[in-house]
Amino acid sequence: MRSVVQSAKVMEKSLLQSVIDYIPANIAFIHYPEMEIGLMNAGFKKLLNGSDLDDHLADLPDSVRKRIIYALTNACYSNEVHIESELPIIILTGESGYCTLYAVPHSQTELGNVMAIAVDVTSLVNGRKNVEEFAKTIDLERDRLATVLEITPMAIMMADEVGNITLANNAFKAFTELEVKDVYDLISKLEGRWPNTGLRVKRNEWPIMRALRGERIYDQLMDIRKKNGELRTVICSACPIAIMDGTRGAIIAFSDITNQREAEEEAIRAKGDMELYLDLLTHNVNNLNAGAKGYLELLLKNDDLDDKTRHYASSSRDLMADIARLIENVRKLQRAEAESLHRSSMDVNMVIEDVVSSHLNNHTRDIKITFNPAGESLVFGNALLRDVFDNIVENAIKHSGGVVEVEIISGRFMTEGKEFVRIDITDTGPGISDKMKSVLFNRMQRGRTSASGHGLGLYLAKTVLEMFGARIWADDRIPGDHSRGARFIVLLPAADSGH
């Protein structure tokens, strides 16, 4: 009979062993307080890593060991399940992990009076810690965003999908001076008008309302009458807040540009007044200049004039021509910016040939101008380009004494990975000192010699060229010796280079 009972117990133990081996937890039946294991599955064996229970507990930190002993003691003497959550352990890979220990009283004392179930919760604990770290990061970023929103001068407001205001920074509150809870109440207390028509902005036209409908609005100008009755101009943008499957609200940001707009309008008025005064001045001066020049021309036709009087009259006539040229240059500067927008492809060689021909035919001085073009040289420009080269050539002639020799060469030129048309204009005049080179193209710079000049020729050339994306600078005709003549270099972006 005893053998039958023993055989049954062996079978029961074997069956229990089979059951716990298939359970995905570390299970052991422990004789407490002897700390002997009556039965355990493969998972618990791995947890012990070849040592007995006492030795394994001895290797654990004191705080962890005390929690395990406390759980086993409670289960043994109180006959109740005791749980110790998230016990720090060292897993087989040598890495830190966590397990939750369930100490369950067991009535079949042959195997042990406490069943210990250790469930690996490492991934759960690490996952929760990651979530907690992520939450801390989100909180930190939220605090940073809140700080940025509060210090930015731009007014910012956010609303949820039903229009409740969820965020409004200090700039927004200061502008509206209103205590409202939703966008509908806000709009009802503000008066908005379209700047171009003066018509009142309807409720469904306000940018925040359009954004709540899923629209995106960029740089919308509006006039808004504030609580104190003051009308302010704002530029605003708004967009929906889209999360996953739909709109979850909207955000609007705007800046008060009233002062800026008033300054721009004042600048436009001032520019208009300046242009009117300049037109009146140049028109009247030109008329007076033309009359004076006419009288001088009549005087010079008188054969009875002595040499001294003829010299004075001729010099005065030339001065009148300089005055006319100055007025013309002022007018060109006035329209240069507007006309620079109107450009087309043109052959700069043909422009230079026209300039050369004009100077050879109209100058009374002994001048020699040669032009050596190297093939077709297409650039983007307009009629002002002729004035550029006319001023450069005129500058070379004016500041040269005796026989004037001017050489012009054009050709393709590569620099900084871009293709240009390069024009070199050299003369045999007195040259330009290094000190003068640095200020030569400044406004109202008189020139490189004592020769009379109106100070706008080279400045006009530089201004126009920069509007075309071109460059100009002065150098020595013979490198290192400025006294043997000057060289002006112009780089114009080639029309077929993709500039």
The CATH number that applies at residue 40 is: 3.30.450.20
Tens-binned pLDDT, residue by residue, of the chain (499 aa):
556 556 666 777 787 888 888 888 899 999 999 999 989 998 898 888 888 888 888 888 999 999 999 999 999 898 899 999 999 887 666 678 899 999 999 887 788 899 999 998 888 888 888 988 988 988 888 788 778 778 888 999 999 999 999 989 999 998 988 888 999 999 999 999 999 898 999 999 999 999 999 999 999 999 999 888 889 999 999 999 887 666 689 999 999 999 988 888 888 888 788 777 777 777 777 788 888 888 888 888 888 888 888 888 888 887 887 777 777 767 776 666 666 657 788 899 999 999 998 888 866 677 888 998 887 788 888 888 888 898 888 888 887 777 778 999 998 888 888 899 999 999 988 888 888 888 888 765 544 444 444 445 788 788 888 888 899 999 998 998 888 889 999 999 988 765 5
DSSP reduced 3-state for 388: helix
165 within a domain of the structure (yes/no): yes
Q: Phi/psi of residue 129, each to 5°?
A: -65, -40
Concatenated DSSP letters of 248-290: EEEEEEEEE-HHHHHHHHHHHHHHHHHHHHHHHHHHHHHHHHH
Q: Are residues 101 and 210 in the same domain?
A: no
Domain that includes residue 324, residue range: 260-339
Which residues, other chains included, contact 413 with Cβ-Cβ below 8 Å and sequence gap of 6+? 419, 420, 421, 422, 491
478 within a domain of the structure (yes/no): yes
The count of structural domains within the chain is 4
DSSP 86: E
Query: CA 206 to CA 185: how far, in whole Å?
Result: 13
Q: Are residues 322 and 295 in the same domain?
A: yes
pLDDT for residue 455: 43
Which residues, other chains included, contact 237 with Cβ-Cβ below 8 Å and sequence gap of 6+? 207, 217, 218, 219, 220, 252, 253, 254
Residue that terminates a domain, selected from 306, 322, 339 = 339
Query: CA 482 to CA 476: how far, in whole Å?
Result: 5
pLDDT for residue 451: 44
Q: The tokens of 221 are what?
A: 């100008």
Q: Are residues 347 and 489 in the same domain?
A: yes
403 within a domain of the structure (yes/no): yes
Task: Give the DSSP H/E element, type plus range, for residue 149.
Answer: helix 122-151
Cα dist. 78→107, 110, 113, 492 in Å? Answer: 13, 19, 12, 98
DSSP reduced 3-state for 162: coil
133 within a domain of the structure (yes/no): no
Query: CA 42 to CA 18: how far, in whole Å?
Result: 10
Query: CA 254 to CA 284: how far, in whole Å?
Result: 49
- Whether the CB-CB separation of 96 and 88 falls below 8 Å is answered with yes
Q: Is 284 exposed, middle or buried (0-12, 13-18, 19+ CB in 10 A)?
A: exposed
Reported pTM? 0.47
Task: Look at residues 213, 217, 170, 207 and name the one whose alpha carbon lies nearest to residue 186.
Answer: 207
The CATH number that applies at residue 400 is: 3.30.565.10
Q: Are residues 50 and 187 in the same domain?
A: no
Helices (H) and strands (E) in the chain, counts: 14, 18
Helices 457-467 and 307-339: angle between axes, nearest 10 degrees:
20
141 within a domain of the structure (yes/no): no
132 within a domain of the structure (yes/no): no
DSSP reduced 3-state for 495: coil
Task: Give the DSSP H/E element, type plus range, for residue 325.
Answer: helix 307-339
Residue with tokens 């030129």: 413
Which residues, other chains included, contact 449 with Cβ-Cβ below 8 Å and sequence gap of 6+? 399, 429, 430
Helix spans in 200-256 (H): 207-212
Task: Look at residues 386, 391, 351, 388 and name the one whose alpha carbon lies nearest to residue 371.
Answer: 351
pLDDT for residue 425: 93
Residue that terminates a domain, selected from 226, 256, 286 = 256
Q: Are residues 249 and 264 in the same domain?
A: no
235 within a domain of the structure (yes/no): yes
Length of the chain: 499
pLDDT for residue 453: 43
Q: Are residues 472 and 407 in the same domain?
A: yes
Query: CA 499 to CA 496: how far, in whole Å?
Result: 8
The CATH number that applies at residue 335 is: 1.20.58
pLDDT for residue 94: 67
Q: Are residues 477 and 347 in the same domain?
A: yes
Residue that terminates a domain, selected from 104, 120, 136 = 120
pLDDT for residue 338: 62
Q: Are residues 239 and 272 in the same domain?
A: no
Q: Are residues 334 and 345 in the same domain?
A: no
Query: CA 360 to CA 354: how far, in whole Å?
Result: 10
Q: Are residues 484 and 407 in the same domain?
A: yes
| Strand order across the beta sheet in which 191-193 lies | 165-168, 155-160, 246-256, 231-243, 217-225, 191-193
Residue with tokens 């705007």: 254
Q: Are residues 479 and 374 in the same domain?
A: yes
Concatenated DSSP letters of 469-494: T-EEEEEEEETTEEEEEEEEEEEEEB
Helices 348-362 and 384-398: angle between axes, nearest 10 degrees:
40
- Whether the CB-CB separation of 333 and 461 falls below 8 Å is answered with no
pLDDT for residue 100: 92
Q: Are residues 348 and 489 in the same domain?
A: yes
91 within a domain of the structure (yes/no): yes
